[in-house]
Amino acid sequence: MSRQQIGPDRAADSVPTVRISVLGPLAIQVDGVPESVGPPLRQAVLACLSAQAGTVVSKEQLMDAVWGERLPGNASGNIHTYIARLRKQLEPGHRQRAVDGVLATVHGGYCLRLPPAHLDSTRFLTLRARARAERAPAPEAAAGMLREALAMWRGTPLHGVPGPFAAAERQRLQGLRLATLEEYGELLLDLDRPDIVVQELSPVTRDHPLRESAHLLLMRALERGGHRDEALEVYERVREGLDEELGVRPGAALIEARDRLRGGTVRPDGNGPPDGRRAIGRAAGPAAPAVQPRRYPPPRPGRFVGRQRALDELASALGPGDRPRVCVVTGGAGTGKTTLALEWAHRVADTFPDGCLYAELRGFSFSDPPPTAAETLYDFLVALGVTFDQIPRTVSARAALFRSLTEQRRLLVLLDDARTGDDVLPMLPAGRGCATLVTSRRRLDTLVVRHAAQPLLLGPMDHRDARALLDMCAGPERTEAEPEEADALVEYCVRLPLAISMVGNRALSSPQLPLQELLTRIRRYGSRLDALSSAQPETGADLRTVFRASAAELSAPARRAFCLLSLFPGTHVDPAAAGALLDRTPREAAALLSELVSDNLLATAGPERYRFHDLLREFAGELAEELLDARESAAARERLLRWTLHAAREASRLIEPRALHDRFPVRPTPWSVGGPTDRSGAVRWLAVHQHDLVATAELAYRLGRYDVAWRLPAILTAWFYLRKNWALWLRLLRTGARAARRAGATAGLAQIRAGAGLAHLDLGHYRQARRQLTRAAAEFQRLDDQWQLGTVLVPLGDLYLRTHRFDQALHTFESARRCYQRAGDEWGAAWALSALGRALLATGHPGRAVAALERALRVWRTAGYTRGEADSMMQLGQAHLAADRPREARRFLSRADRMYESLGDTYRHAQALVWLGRLYRQYGDLSSAREAWRTALSVFEALGAPDAAECGRLLEEG
């Protein structure tokens, strides 16, 4: 086959043009050609990646997006397979690359590199934003943009795509479409085109019979076109629907439109003022005048950039609806909650004709006491025109009057810095046209549960928006002159708006100071908290002050937990590890973690996974030094080390049930509960915790607990050999080797060297592998440890086999088998027998190889050891292929492939695909061969495995 005929090689160095459509059933185009979207679960992965195009999405986030809390046993392996298949879909005819392709692997996660114009939902939002900007100066152009945006819709967004993420995204997009349709209708009415409005809004009112805003627009359009009776029929339909479904009456705007259509300016009950608006007043007592609220929000923020997704979510959550809407913006200190709320309030001020009420609740103020609910309601009632002598004395009476006065209004209520949901409840308006926006550092579950409030979690800004904020604060000429230093400042501030503003102000106040020098000076501080603190902490405007105010609100147990969690060496903690640190059960620890999350002093990072913001971890460490004595901290670390050692051993035992782990006995601890109970659970647990386990080994070494620091890598050998995370494995082994030398643990050092030999062998570093394995073998020979000697001789024989020293390989494998027999380990003997079969196959003896491998397979089947069975099956497939028995070869290779996939061993799964490809090619099915090799290549590249080079050569050769 010529090179011209082979698609992957023809475009190996180019990146295809990918376009993804989500405004309807999921659709993909690559270089203008439609591609299959694949099965539903793969679509769910693509939907999540598309919505976050340009950002890194972790494997845990994808698992949560696809399955939520109902994770299957092999969820991690499935995600890896879906990613591999998606790469093939997005780059058909190209060599799929994990690093620089369309779908890249970045820092353990995945990033879909898709230009904004290549995702239809982003183009839709861009057109909508441009139309808003052009509405006043160029309404015709704005209408054309909205018409173009709405024409992009092809049906229900992400139709048929499963998973919690797709469901939430579908709801969000549908809300945006409805809001855009209504904006389009308003604009067309301004352009005096009511007939088009009727055409566009009639189906919307049929599909959404309780959406008052759409019915009101349709009534206005019918009235403008001279169809008064039809407009009144629309009113009657929505009135009947609201009454039957919700038991409520239409809002004030609909009633005003109805009265106007009937030719009356006063409501039949006689309570309406001449302009048709209902007068405000109490259930009893004199009526108050109908006035606009005088309690306006503070001025619009002078510095606001980005946060478009959050603004869109606010628009969706607080847009027109059938009942009062509530949204709670929650996030840690310094994330810009108040700035976002004020910006949005000013942007939408025209959509709330009855005005805006604003209250600063100061729930987390370090200096000023918060106002009481009675005080806030007093201010609100005065703003609504109630005279001083008419304001009731009790909170409940004031709240009742407030609800009565807002029942027929379209009003925005902005409650800033709330401490609890109960503090907010009295200030919630009653009108269906009203919206309430609350900001808090805590999750206000009371509002979410009792009032269907929409939560919006606000974190640090993305890098682009954060950089734009620094440009605005420091001046673009400064940042453009030193772009790398500006980027470094943004990341030093961990993309927190408050911190960026402080640094930007320093730059602005020192115009002659280069940003490089500013960065150098800031880094000289003892900590980032020092660098980002104000010279006047009593103002409450620096991070340490606002963090301290949040911590002061915690219960005593939660404050202690906040301090102790700073001692955890990894990036993510779960209730079991937290329980060890806190000397609590996992359930008790989970309750304390939830309290910290509610106060935004800790963030969730997946099911039962929690993480600190970098600056909060630093502050928690400071607070720990202040509040905890050295003995309490030391005891917490010791509990964590003991728990980690036991948990890692139990999980590894489920992964590899052979005798290795019995050589590292670990006493159970009082916190040794809640871990995995089966192999699939152990795979998930270790995949999630592997980085934290390495960090814990390094902590143990720093604390002088050398026994823990070398035992952890020895215990985790089977896991890392399975997962092929070589860089992390070698880092762990280096720590273990240093610790074993310090502890004088010669057997432990030999075990670490054996693991290092395995890792280097996998990586093709044969010189390093031989040095480590031969040293380990010599030590175990000296100790007369036959079992350990056998475990080293098998990979040493593999090394000889790979370097074509066949006689040495056969001799070494036979020696390993005898070692295992002397140790009384039938499994080990079968492992050596499998290796011997590989060597016999390589030396041209397929018949003898099959005999040896079948003996090993019988042992694995009797013992129920799936991994050994899969290894033997793959080798038997290779042997039958060499003996020209294609049917038997395919049967064994296919079964091995399925078993590796079920085990979550993506590396061996890819190896099986390579051999299946060889089988297909040998018997003329080149198309299936290439498909198998492309899938295998994407896996090898994602793992960084050296096998990728050989797989690429197979594809080139065809």
CA distance 938 to 931: 11
pLDDT at 478: 81
pLDDT digits (tens, 9 = 90+) for 711-720: 999 999 988 8
Inter-residue contact 935 to 85 (CB < 8 Å)? yes
Ramachandran sector of residue 606 (left: φ over 0; alpha: ψ -120 to 50; beta: rest): left
Inter-residue contact 64 to 606 (CB < 8 Å)? yes
pLDDT at 568: 93
> What's the sign of the alpha-carbon dihedral 859, 865, 866, 868?
negative
CA distance 626 to 631: 13
CATH level 3 topology of 308-453: Rossmann fold (3.40.50)
Cα 625 to Cα 513, 566, 568: the distances in Å are 35, 10, 14
CA distance 206 to 200: 11
- Spelled out in words, what is the top-level CATH class assigned to the domain 846-958? mainly alpha
pLDDT at 535: 41
pLDDT at 592: 92
Q: Spell out the residues 6+ positions from residue 614 whose beta carbon is closer than 8 angstroms to its own.
A: 494, 528
In the chain, where the domains are located? 1-191, 308-453, 463-543, 846-958
Ramachandran sector of residue 112 (left: φ over 0; alpha: ψ -120 to 50; beta: rest): beta
Inter-residue contact 359 to 468 (CB < 8 Å)? no
CATH level 3 topology of 1-191: Arc Repressor Mutant, subunit A (1.10.10)
Closest residue by Cα to residue 355 from 414, 308, 396, 299: 414
CA distance 458 to 445: 16
CA distance 231 to 213: 14
CA distance 427 to 420: 13
Closest residue by Cα to residue 377 from 426, 449, 431, 305: 426
Phi, psi angle pair for 417, to nearest 5°:
65, 55
What DSSP line would sit under 561-630, residue for residue?
Answer: HHHHHTT--SS-B-HHHHHHHHTS-HHHHHHHHHHHHHTTSSEE-STT-EE--HHHHHHHHHHHHHHS-H
Low-confidence ranges of the chain (pLDDT < 50): 1-13, 96, 264-292, 294-295, 366-367, 534-541, 659-662
CA distance 162 to 166: 6
pLDDT at 26: 94
pLDDT at 532: 55
pLDDT at 278: 27
For the question of whether the overall pTM of this predicted structure is more than 0.85, the answer is no
CA distance 890 to 873: 10
Closest residue by Cα to residue 214 from 200, 225, 233, 226: 200
CA distance 809 to 813: 6
pLDDT at 360: 82
